[in-house]
Structure formats: structure tokens, C-alpha cells
Amino acid sequence: MNHRGTRVLRLDALARVEGEAALHLRVEGDTVVETRLRIYEPPRFFEAFLTGRGHTEPPDITARICGICPVAYQMSACQAIENASGVTVDGPLAELRRLLYCGEWIESHTLHIYLLHAPDFLGRADVVELARDQRAAVERGLRLKQAGNAIVQQLGGRPIHPVNVRIGGFYRTPSPDELRPLAERLRQARDDALETVRWVAAFDFPDAVCDHDLFALRHPGRYAVDIGTPVVMAAADHGRAPHPIPLTDFEQHVREEQVPHSTALTATLDGRRYLTGPLARYAINGQWLHPVAAEVAGEAGLGDPATGAICDNPFRSIVVRAIEVVQAVEEALRIIDGYEPPPRPAVDVPPRRGVGVGATEAPRGLLYHRYALTEDGTLTEARIVPPTAQNQTAIEEDVRRAVQARLDRPGPAADDEELTRLCERAIRNHDPCISCSAHFLDVTVERS
């Protein structure tokens, strides 16, 4: 390698960065007075990019916002456009969409659990170090993730940025014979997924409590993935019936503000700090888990979601993610076993003047899209509210509490490096759509 003097060469994924993060922490004496997370997010760029495009284009364009959850963007986009056109996609096409989405949940959660989150709990710098002494576990994680990849590749037409998705359904739908090998793979994945729950449940979890309002889609009878009405479970009501917010009123309740330190917008729900994602979904939808997932949740010590048990320790979100992987595998198997090919790969979605809204549960949380169309289908406005922007305030509060708890502990004071690691962990608990590499955060600690 020719260094020619002192040039630093880095082969990294900077260019595949879905966002970049910096955290500013201000400590006065031994009190944390400010935590400011600065996130760069691409959705704003895409909103501008979509204006003037045709109504068939959002699924393909928004799929490129995030390399980890393209399906989430496609599904929310399809829903919003179909809503504007007054079209409902149901039956086998809706089931296929849900199957595709399950593939993405398996992929995304498994990537986070094994490659990014588990090393935190096992005192390893990163997954490479983990692979050297827990090889079987890392191999299991890769195998499980690849089962999710296989679903996305089969239905999406290719492994990244699925091209087979369109408004109204798909360009091509699979034959039952084509889905059969997936089912075989998923039966192996079921064992791997159950093993994953047992593996992570045995980790050592720091004490922490989050008391954010919880926000997730709800569709009685099924664990929400691709459909549902947004509901809020206020922090004081944890475990009690949540109240619905019609999707058409979403933007009156979820207010996004541009904060000076970030290009991301910071969201509040009815003026309050709130959280979306696995912990919220589990609290709101836990009673509808597949029996196998519910049973293993009990084994993992999460309590019985059917009786209103919730998980409020953000560090234990890794356990909830693992249970959601079991849920996604069981759902995928159920869909494949009952699959009857639809009569046509897609229904017509004619353009129509109007506004459409859509929301689905991306692995990281609720993802909202709104589009305004002219009568020929030209987009005059696009609005995308991703889960990471919604969770920013909650993440900052979690970071504040984690750092404060450390400062309050007797014994030697924490240096900046220790605080940085701690902040990274508090952020990584929420799997935000930003840096997930082992040490991603540029932390400035200002002490006075």
C-alpha cells in the first residue's frame, strides 16, 4: 500500500451512510444539563426530489432512502398513493406484501442484534471480535439474516432496493413452487430465531427505565407490521388501552420542528416526548403475538404481554427485537403455507387529484408518508416522517439519564471515552437510522 507520506486511507461505508450523528453533551459540575443529538437524514432531500414526479414513482425512489429498510419506505409510499387514488389492496397481494415486510424485519433486526448490538453486552469492540470467540453465534446470526434476505430477494426481485414492488402490488407474483424453498429455509430460521431470544435474554442488562409515551400502529387481532391505526399509550397509562389518532390527523398531533443543531426535525406528539419502535409495538401489540413468540417472550422474562406486561428498559429492546424476529418468521411461514396466487400481480391505481397518507411499522418504528397529487398523477407535495426523527427527543432523554446515572455513581469519575461508549450504547438501543458501526459517534463533552 503506498502511503506516500502520512495520508490516511479509509475503506469505509461513509458513502453508504444513511445519516451521520454527533452528540453534544454539556455537564455542569456533576449534572448533565444538555444532550443534543445532531443527525443528518436524507428524507428532506427525497421530499424535494419527489415533487414533480409521477404517482407511480415513490416506491422506487423512496426505497433508496435507506439501504436497511427499503421495503418499509416502499410499503408506506404504496399505501399513501393508493389512499390518494381511493384503491385498497387486499387478499393475496396484501399477504405477499406482509411476507416481504417480514423478510425485512428479519434482516434488519438480525443485523442489529448480532452485528451491532450484541457486542455491547458481551464486552467486545465489534462483531469481528465477537466472531473470533463466539463463532457459532455469529454464524447463526448471519444464517438467520440470510433467510430474511432470501424473502426480500424472492419477492423484491433483487437483494437491494427491491424492484418488483409497484403501486397496486407487484410486477410479478411468485408461484407456490417458488415459495416452497423459502418455507424450508424459514423452518431452519425458526430454530435460529428461538435460539437468538435465549441467547440475548441471558445478557447482563444495565438498569434503566424509559417513561416515554409509546406510539405504534394497532390492528386488533394481528401484530402490526403493514397495516393499522396509529395509537398512543401515554406514559402514565402503560399497560392500559391506548387512544387512536386517525392517520389523516397525524400531522396535527406529530409536530416536527427544525432544531438548530440538526438537519433532522425533532418530533413531539401532542407536545410530549414519545417513542416508536419495538418497545412501543410490543406494549401495544404484544397480546397478538404468535403463540410461539409469546411463549418465548415469557421464557425471556418479559412477562405476559396478554396481561399488559410491557418492557420499559431500553437496553432490553434487544430481547424485544429477537421476539419480533420469531414473530416475523412465524408470520412468513403462515403466509407461505396459505398462499394462493392472486389473479393479477397488481390492481390498477389510476391517478386522481387528492391527498393520500400511509403508515407502516418499519423495523425502527412508525414510518409516515403523505403525497398530494394532481389529476394526472403529478406529485405536488411529499412528506415523509421517519421513525428516527420521531425518536430523537426520547433518545436524547435516554442518553441524559444514562450519563447522569453514571455521574451519580460513587467511585472514580468517568472520562470522556467512557461517557462516549455509554452514549453510543444508549443510542444504539433504539437502532436509529444513523451510524451503527461499532464506534460511530462524535461526542463533545463540555464540562464546567
Site for another protein, rule CB under 8 A: 1-2, 7-21, 42, 45, 49, 64, 66-68, 107, 110-111, 115, 126-128, 131-132, 135, 138-139, 141-142, 145-146, 149, 159-160, 433-442
CB of 189 to another protein, least distance (A): 13
- Smallest separation (angstroms) from another protein to the CB of 408: 28
Supply 350's cell numbers. Answer: 389510476
- Cβ(283)–Cβ(232) below 8 Å: no
Q: Tell me the β-bridge partners of 362.
A: 365
The three cell numbers of residue 200 are 440475548
Instruction: Kindly write down the DSSP assignment for every residue of 273-305, as one continuous string.
Output: -EEESHHHHHHHHGGGS-HHHHHHHHHTT---G
Q: How far is the CB of 373 from another protein (least distance, A)?
A: 23
Q: Tell me how far, at minimum, the Cβ of 328 lies from another protein, in Å.
A: 16
Tell me whether residue 19 or residue 342 sits nearer to another protein (CB atom). Answer: 19
User: 181: burial class by Cβ within 10 Å (0-12, 13-18, 19+)?
Assistant: exposed
Length, in residues, of the chain: 448
Whichever of 95 and 104 has its CB closer to another protein, that residue is 104
* Alpha-carbon span 359 to 75, nearest angstrom: 8
Least distance from C-beta 4 to another protein, angstroms? 9
The smaller minimum CB distance to another protein, of residues 33 and 48, is found at 48
Task: Please report the sign of the dihedral spanned by the C-alpha atoms of residue 388, residue 258, residue 227, residue 244.
Answer: positive
User: Quick one: 14 or 413, whose CB is closer to another protein?
Assistant: 14
Q: Of 111 and 167, which has the nearer Cβ to another protein?
A: 111
Instruction: List CB contacts of 7: < 8 A, sequence separation 6 or more.
Output: none
Burial of 303 (0-12, 13-18, 19+ CB in 10 A): middle
Comparing CB distances to another protein, the nearer of 45 and 171 is 45
Burial 249-273 (b: 16+ CB within 10 A, else e): ebeebbebeeeeebbbbbbbbeeeb
Distance CA 250, CA 228 (A): 13
Identity of the residue, 131 or 247, whose beta carbon is nearer to another protein in the bound complex: 131
Q: Tell me how far, at minimum, the Cβ of 52 lies from another protein, in Å.
A: 14
The distance of closest approach from Cβ of residue 219 to another protein in the complex, given in angstroms and rounded to an integer, is 28
